[in-house]
Structure 1
Amino acid sequence: TQLLTIVNGVGTLISFRNINYWLGFRANRGFLRTSRFRPPNHALTVQRPFPLSHGTTTLGFIFQGGVIAAADTRASAGGLVACPAVHKITPIHSHLVVTSSGSGADCMLWERILIREIRLYELRHKRRLSIRASAKLLSFMLHPFKGTDVSDPLSPNSGPQVIYVCSDGARLQGDIISVGSGSPYAYGVLDGGLSWGLSKEEAISLAREAVFRATHRDAYSGNNVDLFHIDAQGWIQRPREDLKEEYYRELERRSKRRREKKKRDTIESS
């Protein structure tokens, strides 16, 4: 495995095992372009005799106190809960974590490659690769596998930036990003409750509720919730929490609302 930079500025050759592709720079247009690339035969997707569905719920958002990243812990394979306690949030370094959604083996592979390349860059240049550059590096690595299902989406989150990198090399940046089969339900909670001025505890509570709502409706997500808070000092992992605790809290909130409504009705009737 090597990372070779050509000094004359013609381009950069990145080699991962038997995967080679060129990143060329067109001076008069000022953008990077990749040459045609065909993955080796063993990397092509093999059609399964039956569909094997899997899903997840991961999210990240920005608020005044930094970034919150959250994910459930269920690994599913069709109708089977393969593992109830996987780690879908992986720290890359002190100010960068990634949340993974899709094929677990592929996501683990690309996370390890990303950790290695960022560390090699730091050793060579005596400075850490920026978050945006890390996302671009991951995007370049994934692009040759577009349409092969070799890897599924990864979402780097750190500092004031939340960036989504898809398996086809697409790279998107936003203030709220949720990925996985439970993401439509998580977006519903985040869009209704997120604001820049949230406190740290309010942001954590919102992320936990978003994952809980998603797991309540999405059969492929569930079990526990992992939460990371990233600020200028680095990331802090919250203790893993069983989602049934959030369920009991929701029951208590509903009971409290009913009591308050009954009390108001009693006062109005009197």
Structure 2
Amino acid sequence: MPPLDTLVAFESVARLQSFTRAAAELCVTQSAVSKQIRTLEQALGVELFTRQARGVKLSPSGLMYHDEVLPALHRIHTAGQRVSATRAANTVTVLATHAVSQFWLFPRLLGFSAIHPEITVNINATNDILPFMVPDCDLAILYGNGDWPGLVSTSMIAEVIYPVALPGSPGTQASTLDELANLPLIQLTSAWDCMEWKDWFAHFNHAYQSPKSAPTFNQLTLTYAATLQGAGISLAWDFMAADTVRKGELVRVTEFAAVTGLAEYVVHDAGRPLSPAATYFKEWLLQESARTG
């Protein structure tokens, strides 16, 4: 068994694709992260990363190892949360993506706390959610079609995707797909199942190829932040942009919106009954989604 800190460093570098950003996240020096990765590579006898001019990426061996290590680290983390939560019957652990946590859950949690101050809600935000992780938490919010064996799922947020931009930005008056395709579009290249510009245009039977010079991010939250800074036009999911558009902080570009038929579902393990606290929180989630559309 390699030291646990080398696995933690490996997961952070793999996710962030940078030794520097991993060091900042782990609150250690870059040289310490490099040493941990070297130790792990020496123990395994393979190179885990391919060094590039800007950051690193997983080697074929690294990708294989990552697919095995990530679930194990997640289970260790959530096991600790569950053990801690058993001390308080009124604690609810929830698994959700960064975008859902940041833009939908967090802004509403104060409202839940006002109704149920006796219940503590712990949010575990990660974009590497897989169905097998759900039993380690009380509830999870999964994206898909709702068909997951062994899980009870209830549709919560329908997937609706449209372009947004800062008011006054170039191209905000575009009305057709042809006009939109020729504007500075912020690109998203995500490792998880997330609609990109090419997919979005294809939804309307319109061909699109992203230019090589376009600004590109690997996280939905980063493309959204870039749009808020006036860097261009990005795709936004209604659950994250609706309030901002309503306030006039962003504007929709064109009237086109992709309704995919998929959704964010609140799910839990079918083999384990929900606690009263988790039941209250699930009911509140569904009430909030119905209230805000």
Does TM, scored on the shorter chain, surpass 0.5?
Answer: no
Name the one with the larger strand percent.
Answer: 1
Name the one with the larger helix percent.
Answer: 2
- Please report the TM-score for the alignment, with normalisation by the length of structure 2: 0.23
- Please report the TM-score for the alignment, with normalisation by the length of structure 1: 0.25
